Amino acid sequence: MARYEDDYEDESKEQACFIATAVYGTPLSQEVEVLRQFRDELLIPNPPGRALVAIYYKLSPPLARFISRHRRLRSVVRECLVNPAVALTRAMRSRRAGR
């Protein structure tokens, strides 16, 4: 059985958030950076988070390619999935910073 840590270590730390990049059109958007920081600060430091990231890296590239080719789908995924994830991540960071 492969170790999820190995899967992550094979990926670049600057790896794009595939789906977020697809819906925002650039890996340089502030929203993508928020999600990258969430990955690096909260997911990667623990085994379940690394496992989730490894699964995401395996499954999301074809989904992101499909999403990026369909304007309406990009909008739906952005509004219903990615924007709420970004808002939740920002709220969690604000709460952690306030401790």
pTM: 0.79
Predicted confidence (pLDDT) per residue in 45-54, tens digit: 999 999 999 9
How open is the CA angle 21-96-91, to the nearest 5 degrees?
45
Taking the C-alpha atoms of residue 41 and residue 32, their distance in angstroms, rounded to an integer, is: 14
User: Does residue 65 carry a pLDDT above 60?
Assistant: yes
Domain range annotation of the chain: 4-97
User: Does residue 6 carry a pLDDT above 60?
Assistant: no
pLDDT at site 8? 44
Residue labelled with tokens 């395996």 = 58
